[in-house]
Chains A and B, each alone.
Chain A
Amino acid sequence: MEALTRPLGKLGRATAEALGGMGYAAMLLYESLYLSAFGWRIGQPLRLRAVLEQMRQIGVDALPIVCLLAFTVGIMLGIQFVSALGEFGAQSQVVIAVAKSVTREFGALITAILVAGRSGSALAARIGSMTVSQEVDALAVIGIDPVRYLVAPALIAMLIMLPLLTVFADAVAIYGAALYSAPALDITPSAYMLQTMSLLDPGDIGQGIAKSAVFALLITLIGVSTGFSVVGGAEGVGRATTRAVVLSICWIIVADMIFSYFLNR
């Protein structure tokens, strides 16, 4: 009997923990949005300087690596589509295939995974170490709401910068694909880019932007809720950081699949 009840008990506890975690993240989201909008009424104004600082860390500092990865992914897509479509004599479709797959899918996905690894983990580590060393308690007793001070600026910055990074990644990836594919298609890279622009709908880019906004929420909420839940000193902070990255990437991919299903039916 115990062999049956023990796994069930574990499953029940894990489910309850997961639901509790989601509830906590939802509460952090509500508090962050409320304090961002109305915090000034209760003496907890959102500081523009903190948001700008987070925007720099999340967005501007990530530009080189996003550029490198997007460019590489663009070239890879160019290689794959030129080769695969060439087998069917459909090389003329390379431009649209790259354009749609980058703007609808890969631009947002690659950028989000990268930002989860860079900024999601940094959020979890920062808040986790602050929790362990009582800095979060110190903020609270000074009269500074930790959610307003630590979460809201990161959330707002992420919601602004991730879509912008995604659009940037889209452009760089398509340019990478153009550099590889244009000679194979017997056109110039600038003609490739012009053709891409004429083939893309605003909806294609919009799809990537909408996804990136959802990914921004997921990365921030998983990072901060994992950070606030740290127990067990430095080792706990390390565990939380890893957990934040793994959870963020899992949820990003699941959310992407759900998005793709509903938006492309």
Chain B
Amino acid sequence: MNTPAPLIEVEKLEAWYGKRRILNGVDFTVHPGEIRVIMGGSGSGKSTLLRHMLGLNRPVSGSVRLFGTDLATASDREKLEVRKRIGVSFQGGALLTSMTVGDNVALPLREHTNLDEQTIRIMSRIKLEVVNLGGFQDLMPSQLSGGMIKRAALARAVVMDPRLLFFDEPSAGLDPVVSAELDELILRLRDALRMTIVVVTHELDSAFKIADTITVLDQGNVLMTGTTAEVRAADNERIQDLLNRRPREVHVDADEYLQRLVGETE
């Protein structure tokens, strides 16, 4: 049996902020139907990697292809076609604050389809029902709680029935119950709508609950990609530190430290 072509191909991806290297030759692929969690501590490069996957940042070297299209070199038309097939739920929701929840959810439909207004309203209300926000369409984002904002953002992300869905830190800032509800929702979406889902998170419980496969990032390097069982059994010290919530040991060379402190002012 042929393996289906990967939906995401990241090859030798490097990213820099000024003189600081954030991603160091990252390689991985995500196949259709998978829930892939990209996991790592703070500063591991997760968010930068996500921005590259979404085409918001241009790679310094290496490439990211979604559905076989490299967003860095694609034409405007090709980029648009890819973007119609993906959905993104940002960490803070990123709902447009000047619009009602209903208009936020309907926005992609209004921009990218020729559907009549009545159909658009019905479709966006269906998606709001899916995320348990039925009846909230007339509220402004400022009137919603953190968990509701994330669910509304999810409704907007899935309104075009994308094949590929990205989540940036879905559990961040939520209480454990709401966080667990969101995890359930992610699993339901995959099962009901057959989406491929990429979740960027540092929440271990959530990661192991929803993931089919996990890519572990540390200081811009992929430490491993594997199933949840493989990651748990990994003999890599950094992975075990991460899983057991052990802080990284910092070794300081006195001379180097002094040089760092005074170097800028010399």
Report which A residues bind B (CB closer than 8 A): 42-44, 126, 129-130, 133-135, 137-145
Contacts and interface: CB of A to CB of B under 8 A. Distances in A.
A135 B96 contact: yes
A135 B75 CA distance: 23
Interface stretch (B28-36, B107-115, B252-260): B107-115
Contacts of A126: 98
Nearest to B96: A135
A142 B76 contact: no
A43 B77 contact: yes
A138 to B, nearest CB: 4
Q: Which of A130, A135, A140, A142 gathers the greatest number of chain B CB atoms within 10 Å?
A: A142
B54 A135 contact: no
Contacts of A42: 75-77, 80
Contacts of A139: 96
A129 B56 CA distance: 18
B41 interface: no
Q: Taking chain A's interface residues, is the majority helix, strand, or loop, or is none over half, making it mixed?
A: helix
Contact of B94 (A44, A138, A144): A138
A44 B80 CA distance: 9
Interface stretch (B17-25, B81-89, B230-238): B81-89
A141 B156 CA distance: 12
B83 A143 contact: yes
Given A141-B83, A141-B86, 4 more contacts: A42-B76, A137-B54, A138-B90, A141-B54
A144 B160 CA distance: 14
B90 A134 contact: yes
Contacts of A138: 88, 90, 94-96
A135 B83 CA distance: 16
Contacts of A137: 51, 54, 56, 90, 94
B108 A142 contact: yes
Contacts of A145: 76
B262 to A, nearest CB: 15
